[in-house]
């Protein structure tokens, strides 16, 4: 059934249309216009703002289940359902460093889910296991490892149509292995790594233009050694996702990064769980408990985030001195571009999915508005 969303301030991703009209049908956007049609059902937003739904490319769990612990369709559904409550309409469930068997299980679960459901689950983020143990963070030391040719080939072959992003420490790869991964078409993100500013340059020159959670689990900026942080801030082509919760990244640091990165700066949740309903969690060598609104492990270190994409967008607006439209782009168009999906999601444009958020002028109230 064709419907018209009317009386809205429409943030298309390219422009802002006052009193815009968005025509939707069968879960797709048909047109964006100014004229109000007379012959179809109208949904009046009462002057509220409308944008594409948020995209989260790094989310580990929903309100109750953790993907790396139970990599099945039930967990994927929990992640998707929970994300919808917080403005996120497209997700990449994230599987952290695990055994090969668990990784393949996760790949098959996402593939099976996507075959059954035409919704906002757009693939999977494999974070690890090919990371530097010196920067492993909350990843289990028992699972972090260097790739063998056989394991890498199997993951690529079985996951290339499912894995949208893979986080690696490139120093753990041979040149031949890295070239094979690049040629697979999977978006490579550099993270959990000890590479320096100088060492980063050849990898960027190969076309890798994404890192995993800027500032966290990488070499830091210094005036004598700028580190990977400096390399990212310096290179105009590299996207810089940030966990904007004030703990994983101080707002002042994020503000500096945004000033330097501009349209390459975007938001992720990296949520262990959404909604802060799981207070204690233990799996394998990973443990997390809720402490003052953040997940920490028994050693007192951060153990994943609790933030939602809605909170991240609100924090961007409130702490980075950016406009509402700019904060929204950090969770929509920028994210889509970082993973090469800018022609499919992240905008209000004809042919794109009718997955939206509506919000007020100061972003204090954000609601999912989904036509899937």
User: Two tokens at 121?
Assistant: 């689950």
Classify residue 260 as exposed, middle or buried by CB count within 10 Å of its CB (0-12, 13-18, 19+): middle
Candidates 151, 127, 150; CA nearest to 140 is 127
* CA 343, 356, 115, 78 torsion-angle sign: positive
Q: Report DSSP state, residue 162.
A: T
The Cβ of residue 161 has, within 10 Å, a number of other Cβ atoms equal to 14
Q: How many residues does the chain have?
A: 372
Query: How does strand 163-168 pair with strand 187-190?
Result: parallel
Give the pairing of strands 355-359 and 49-52.
antiparallel
Q: Treating both helix axes as pointing N-terminal to C-terminal, what angle do 251-261 and 227-234 enclose, rounded to 10 degrees?
A: 40
Q: Could you give the CA distance from residue 89 to residue 120 in angstroms, rounded to a whole number?
A: 6
Q: And the tokens for 181?
A: 């991964």
- SS3 state at 165: strand
Residues 133 and 94: beta-carbon distance below 8 Å = no
> Quick check: 232 and 265 in contact, CB under 8 A?
no
Structure tokens at 127: 């974070």
CA distances to 73, 152, 154, 183 from 180, rounded to whole Å, are 29, 9, 12, 5
Residue 325 catalytic? no
Q: Which of 81, 270, 287, 325 is catalytic?
A: 270
Cis peptide before 190 (omega within 30 of 0): no
Positions annotated as catalytic residues are 270
């Amino acid at each position: 059934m064709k419907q018209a969303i009317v009386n809205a301030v429409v943030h298309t991703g390219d422009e802002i249309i006052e009193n815009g009209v968005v025509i939707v049908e069968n879960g797709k956007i048909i047109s964006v216009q100014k004229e109000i049609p007379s012959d179809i059902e109208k949904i009046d937003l009462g002057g509220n703002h409308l944008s594409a739904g948020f995209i989260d490319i790094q989310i580990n769990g929903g309100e109750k289940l953790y993907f790396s612990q139970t990599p099945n369709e039930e967990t994927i559904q929990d992640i998707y359902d929970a994300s919808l409550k917080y403005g996120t309409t497209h997700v990449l469930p994230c599987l952290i460093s695990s055994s090969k068997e668990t990784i393949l299980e996760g790949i098959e679960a996402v593939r099976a889910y996507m075959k059954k459901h035409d919704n906002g689950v757009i693939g999977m983020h494999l974070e690890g296991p090919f990371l530097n143990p010196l920067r492993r963070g909350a990843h289990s030391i028992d699972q972090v490892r260097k790739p063998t040719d056989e394991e890498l080939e199997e993951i690529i072959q079985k996951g290339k149509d499912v894995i949208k992003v893979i986080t690696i420490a490139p120093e753990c790869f041979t040149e031949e292995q890295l070239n094979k991964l690049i040629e697979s078409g999977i978006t490579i993100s550099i993270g959990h790594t000890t590479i320096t500013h100088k060492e980063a340059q050849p990898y960027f020159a190969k076309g890798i233009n994404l890192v995993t959670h800027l500032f966290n689990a990488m070499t830091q900026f210094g005036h004598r050694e700028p580190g990977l942080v400096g390399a990212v801030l310096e290179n105009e082509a590299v996207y810089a996702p940030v966990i904007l919760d004030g703990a994983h990244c101080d707002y002042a640091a994020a503000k500096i990064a945004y000033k330097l990165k501009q349209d390459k700066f975007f938001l992720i949740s990296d949520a262990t769980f959404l909604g802060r309903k799981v207070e204690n969690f233990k799996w394998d060598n990973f443990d997390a408990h809720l402490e003052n609104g953040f997940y920490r492990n028994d050693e007192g270190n951060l153990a994943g985030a609790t933030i939602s994409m809605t909170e991240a967008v609100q924090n961007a607006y409130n702490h980075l001195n950016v406009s509402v439209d700019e904060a929204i782009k950090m969770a929509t168009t920028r994210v889509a571009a970082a993973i090469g999906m800018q022609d499919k999601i992240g905008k209000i444009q004809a042919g794109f999915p009718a997955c939206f958020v509506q919000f007020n002028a100061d972003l204090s109230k954000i609601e999912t508005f989904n036509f899937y």
